[in-house]
Chain A
């Protein structure tokens, strides 16, 4: 989905390198929204934290988390260029409160903050996280004791909760099947 992915440089939308409080968050949110609407073909936005020195929990809640929640199921938002543990913790606290999962990517590895997958969907999520795209049949095939119907239910739940994105594709059998994508 490379052509459908874009970097959203957060710092360029902020007045200062520090993001402090709900009000400031709301005004940056509007700019982020403009950026997203200005790129209608983009499915995944990688929010770059480059040059952002700090953000508090309220600011994270009103910006990245709110955007991810608003576009849940249709567009995905992940975070890149973020290594500061304290900021990750703030993002985590904000996302958890809004029941929103968010992936923080560092190179090729991702760390999940905010909401966690349920016990029943954790393995399916790990599976999807390990590859660019996944089909229910692939997961069912690799994991013994899980039917395709069951696997597809798990993926659907993950999609509904904002862990994954999906798109329709023609199935080999002639029907429609969903291809699930990790975010980022």
Chain B
């Protein structure tokens, strides 16, 4: 079995990637069994939770055996994942140690937290019309004291709406996408995460570049991704792509960092002088394959 062991600390997306890199790629042809180990004190962050959920379900769909081993049991991060609704969406074929939770904490407490929004499934055939209201409602309860609360609410609503609509419109997958939200450290930091297991944004965009945007065809993936959020580029032509661009503009107003995981790359964008720029972006290339596009916005609320 290919074992991926996570560290006994906060599992950020950077730590998640580091752990993945230490092992053979879970999607590699020679990998048949993948085990993810969560030691005591390992605490999964919300963006990692839905990336991991997507990855585990991808692996099962590729007929690989998957095992999640929570060494602290339900007292640890497994309890948090249960509260998020992680196990409600985890493919039944995935083996969970010590055992799957006996009940879904997300189902019991859904909507009851001011700090999190349980994982929601994104499937174009089963549109959850109440999802946006739940996401923004929670956000508002957790930062109602802020002077710019309603502006933040509007920004978050639009970002969610655009990211999720993007998944609906470039689906091409039978696997579900996911969205979730968590407020951290007393309301100072907000993570908004949306994942899909479809074609990566580059795979859908690249083929159209030669025809629609020949001047961009020579850009590296990182530079191209920066332009997607800066100019708004869409495979559907010059008058589309305003959604991601507009979402980025709103995120920038709240100094949000953007973390985009593509099939083999991860790109980090930090706002500088009112926009996301290539020279302040970081790109990690050659990462183990994860299908799809996984986007997380980190808002600094303090």
Contacts and interface: CB of A to CB of B under 8 A. Distances in A.
B151 A86 contact: yes
Given A54-B154, A84-B154, A93 B239 contact: no
A16 B157 CA distance: 15
A97 B169 contact: no
A58 B165 contact: yes
Interface stretch (A20-28, A30-38, A130-138, A171-179): A20-28
B166 to A, nearest CB: 8
A89 B161 contact: no
Interface string B39-67: 00000000000000000000000000000
B246 A57 contact: yes
Contact of B246 (A16, A21, A93): A93
B162 interface: yes
A20 B165 contact: yes
Contacts of B157: 54, 56, 86
B242 A93 contact: yes
User: Per DSSP, are chain B's interface residues mostly helix, strand or loop, or mixed?
Assistant: helix
A97 B247 CA distance: 13
A21 B163 CA distance: 10
Nearest to B150: A86
Interface string A1-39: 000000000000000101011110000000000000000
Interface string B244-258: 011101100000000
Given A21-B165, A54-B158, A56-B157, 4 more contacts: A22-B169, A96-B242, A97-B242, A97-B245
For the complex of A and B, 7 pairs with smallest distance between CB atoms: A86-B154, A21-B165, A93-B246, A97-B242, A56-B161, A57-B246, A98-B239
12 contacts: A16-B129, A18-B132, A23-B165, A23-B168, A54-B154, A54-B158, A56-B243, A57-B158, A87-B154, A89-B246, A93-B246, A98-B239
